[in-house]
Amino acid sequence: MTGSKTKIFGVLGHPIGHSLSPVMHKAFFKEKKINADYFAFDVDEKNLGDAIHGADALKFCGLNVTIPHKISVIKYMDEISEEARLINAVNTIKFDYVKDLIIGYNTDGIGAINAIEKNLNDGLKGKKIFILGAGGAARAIIFSALSNNAEISIYNRTVEKAILIGNDVKEKLNKYLKVVHLKNLKDELKDNDIIINATSVGMFPNADECPINEYCIPKGKVVMDIVYNPIETKFLESAKKRNCMTINGVDMLVEQGAEALKIWLNMEPEEYLINIMKKSIIKKLKNKPKN
Ligand SMILES: NC(=O)c1ccc[n+]([C@@H]2O[C@H](COP(=O)([O-])OP(=O)(O)OC[C@H]3O[C@@H](n4cnc5c(N)ncnc54)[C@H](OP(=O)(O)O)[C@@H]3O)[C@@H](O)[C@H]2O)c1
């Protein structure tokens, strides 16, 4: 039961009602018998600084940050990690009460990389990855994958956003991002090992949408969707029909959560705990109301 000694964690976002973070973190604390609790907080942009400094004053142990605050939260940090600097977004905050610092991290990119590596039982070095999308999540995956020596191509509906990421990658990592245009999409996809949907296309309630036509998906590749609701998106359904190996968005969600726990608790969550977190999310998604 939550009491005065309970370690408090939470997630800040707006809206926040559908966040699955409390479910998986509570499952972890329960299994590990850690006296901790995790809450979802709906915070408006204008109150973001107060919310963070309030959590600091109340001796919260850690926070996650989600849409739309991942970039604007940076200005309230005393320090940010190298990943957060490269990605230019923070999704995890640690309150260091010894050094009196609020430190921002980004675990989205490493979460995606861990999900891929665990499914493939292999590293990303030299792998060719095609990213669909150029939003915040795409950006996190691109910087982390390039740091793991993968080669990346990108296609986005708004090509200018893909070009901007390409410029940033060149400036910060001195690496090259191949920006693909719609007319070359089908041909360019063939030349890759892993294809990742990092757009929000196919996300509930628009679950019948697919980011690309089924016949553009090359046969026999690894296909990942970072959308986790529904668990099996139309994109993954189509990829299976093309004999691709698929990785769903729940894996990334759980891995980025496990990385946050590592930062907060200075411990590596064992695989069985990661599986318990994953099961808690799958159970929640399968039991969700259908509207
Ligand atoms: N599994 C996980 O752990 C995890 C973590 C983070 C995010 N996600 C999921 O990843 C998705 C993207 O998140 P985000 O934070 O990157 O969002 P975001 O910054 O808003 O980016 C959205 C991306 O989707 C594209 N897009 C949206 N609607 C589209 C449409 N109708 N047709 C083509 N492209 C479209 C956008 O293209 P334009 O640039 O052309 O608008 C942009 O590239 C969300 O569904 C989110 O829930 C999952």
Kindly give the interhelix angle for 136-147 and 108-120, rounded to the nearest 10 degrees: 60
Report the nearest atom of ligand 1 relative to the CA of 138: 16
- Indicate which CATH number applies to the domain containing 25: 3.40.50.10860
Output the residue whose Cα is nearest ligand 1's atom 26: 199
- Based on the fold, state whether residues 219 and 272 are members of the same structural domain: no
1 Cα–ligand 1 center, Å: 37
| Segment holding 160, helix H or strand E | helix 159-173
Q: Is 113 in the pocket of ligand 1 (CB under 6 A)?
A: no
Q: What is the pLDDT along the chain (291 residues), one digit of tens a residue?
A: 778 899 999 999 999 988 999 999 999 999 999 999 999 999 999 999 999 999 999 999 999 999 999 999 999 999 999 999 999 999 999 999 999 999 999 999 999 999 999 999 888 989 999 999 999 999 999 999 999 999 999 999 999 999 999 999 999 999 999 999 999 999 999 999 999 999 999 999 999 999 999 999 999 999 999 999 999 999 999 999 999 999 999 999 999 999 999 999 999 999 999 999 999 999 999 987 655
Residue 21, marked binder: yes
Residue 243, marked binder: no
Residue 109, marked binder: no
Q: Is 249 in the pocket of ligand 1 (CB under 6 A)?
A: yes
In terms of Cα–Cα distance, which of 241, 237, 240, 214 is closest to 227? 237
- Based on the fold, state whether residues 73 and 37 are members of the same structural domain: yes
- Based on the fold, state whether residues 58 and 85 are members of the same structural domain: yes
Report the nearest atom of ligand 1 relative to the CA of 134: 43
* Predicted TM-score of the model (pTM): 0.96
137 phi/psi in degrees, rounded to 5: -70, -40
Output the residue whose Cα is nearest ligand 1's atom 21: 135
- Based on the fold, state whether residues 145 and 25 are members of the same structural domain: no
- Based on the fold, state whether residues 161 and 44 are members of the same structural domain: no
Residue 40, marked binder: no
Q: Is residue 291 part of a domain?
A: no
Report the nearest atom of ligand 1 relative to the CA of 249: 1
| Segment holding 86, helix H or strand E | helix 82-87
| Segment holding 152, helix H or strand E | strand 151-155
Q: Is residue 1 part of a domain?
A: no
Q: Which of 25, 142, 199 to mutate to test the pocket of ligand 1 (most atoms within 8 A of CB)?
A: 199
